[in-house]
């Protein structure tokens, strides 16, 4: 496998000489780090990473290859993949190709052979920032200027880049597309209304394992674009609404915030990650950008209702401001034990709850899987009223 010299340049002037194992190219994005020890294919395909280049803190990546079953969306979402050492000869019975082949097919740069610990410590100290990688321009001053010219993550609407273009049903672990891409109004769209809970899931960058988890709990799931018609949703008479994870800053997503406002109190609602932030904004709260975000499978979160500590999977760079939710008729249910940030809430009047972390994991621990069952119980209680 041919390796090519490359250079990573950060907007603050720090540079890291490295090596590309996916050939020549250039790319840019916000550079962040993930502390997971495995699950790199799920990380690569998580739409919440849109516009970002991900650094893995675990030193050896690629040792088990990739396979079709572990993808969390229909394509790689990261703009670049950074690691200490790439293992070009995978050894796993499930592997169908190497990580390098996977990245090259989709035109995504993979780089290695640099001090990922130094980069991670730098981000922890100074914050996530814009970066540029090139194999063709190795001039530090030139790349630093290119990094500074990249749009900031704050204020960007990245959801429009990852949301589905048309609605689809999730059946037997995969998307089932409609013949003409359209779905007419009316509650007769559901095939299993009498035996399963019908859920409309807003796709702000939804992970496949969320849909797998909903289906496993007995839900019939219709996934709709981020800007889907509320009139059509009401005509479907769903048992519940799900607001998904997704990339970037929640504040520019005025269409999603307005949709959430309109649906609160009308249906049981469950939100994850970006969905949590959208609900916080819809209720009158505020959000802010974290210094370097929470990304990995080992984030400790305390459940304030049970008193238990859950080890959670997380991937977000923004959070709900806790003080801004005071007086909003909500109960704080979860906090992050590393920095005491807002990790979950439930409404005191309406059937609504949300968490900032990922109970579906992929990759990560399963401590919080019970939340999907809580959603079922909430829909069951609401339908009985």
Out of 122, 294, 316, 358, which one is annotated catalytic? 358
Q: Give yes or no: 18 in active site.
A: no
Which neighbouring-strand residues pair with 313?
358
Q: Which residues of 169-199 are buried (b: 16+ CB within 10 A; e: fewer)?
A: bbeeeeeeeeeeeebeeeeebbeeeeebbbb
Q: Give yes or no: 360 in active site.
A: yes
Out of 112, 220, 273, 347, which one is annotated catalytic? 273
Active site residues: 273, 358, 360
């Amino acid at each position: 496998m041919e390796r090519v010299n490359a250079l990573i340049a950060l907007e603050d002037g720090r540079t890291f000489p490295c090596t590309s194992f996916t050939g020549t190219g250039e790319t840019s994005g916000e550079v962040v780090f993930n502390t997971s020890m495995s699950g790199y294919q799920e990380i690569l395909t998580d739409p919440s990473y849109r516009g970002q280049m991900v650094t893995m803190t675990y030193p050896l990546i690629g040792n088990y290859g990739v396979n079709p079953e572990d993808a969390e969306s229909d394509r790689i979402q990261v703009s670049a993949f950074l690691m200490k050492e790439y293992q070009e000869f995978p050894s796993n019975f499930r592997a169908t190709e190497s990580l390098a082949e996977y990245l090259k097919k989709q035109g995504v740069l993979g780089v290695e052979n640099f001090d990922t610990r130094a980069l991670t410590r730098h981000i922890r100290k100074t914050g996530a920032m814009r970066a540029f990688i090139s194999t063709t321009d190795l001039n530090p001053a030139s790349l630093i200027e290119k990094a500074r010219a990249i749009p900031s993550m704050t204020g960007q609407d990245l959801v429009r880049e990852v949301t589905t273009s048309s609605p689809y049903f999730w059946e037997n672990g995969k998307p089932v597309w409609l013949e003409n891409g359209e779905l007419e109004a009316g509650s007769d769209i559901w095939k299993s209304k009498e035996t399963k809970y019908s859920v409309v899931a807003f796709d702000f960058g939804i992970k496949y394992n969320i849909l797998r988890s909903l289906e496993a709990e007995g839900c019939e799931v219709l996934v709709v674009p981020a800007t889907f018609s509320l009139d059509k949703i009401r005509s479907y008479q769903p048992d519940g609404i799900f607001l998904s994870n997704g990339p970037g800053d929640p504040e520019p997503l005025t269409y999603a915030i307005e949709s959430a406002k309109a649906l609160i109190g009308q249906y049981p609602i469950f939100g994850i990650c970006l969905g949590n932030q959208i609900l916080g904004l819809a209720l009158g709260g505020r959000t802010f950008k974290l210094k370097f975000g929470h990304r990995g499978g080992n984030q400790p979160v305390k459940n304030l209702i049970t008193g238990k500590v859950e080890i959670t999977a997380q991937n977000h760079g923004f959070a709900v401001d806790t003080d801004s939710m005071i007086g909003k008729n909500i109960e704080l249910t979860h906090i992050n034990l590393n920095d005491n940030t807002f990790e979950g809430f439930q409404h005191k009047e309406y059937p609504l709850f949300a968490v900032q972390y990922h109970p579906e994991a992929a990759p990560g621990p399963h401590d919080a899987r019970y939340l999907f069952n809580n959603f079922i119980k909430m829909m069951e209680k609401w339908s009985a009223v």
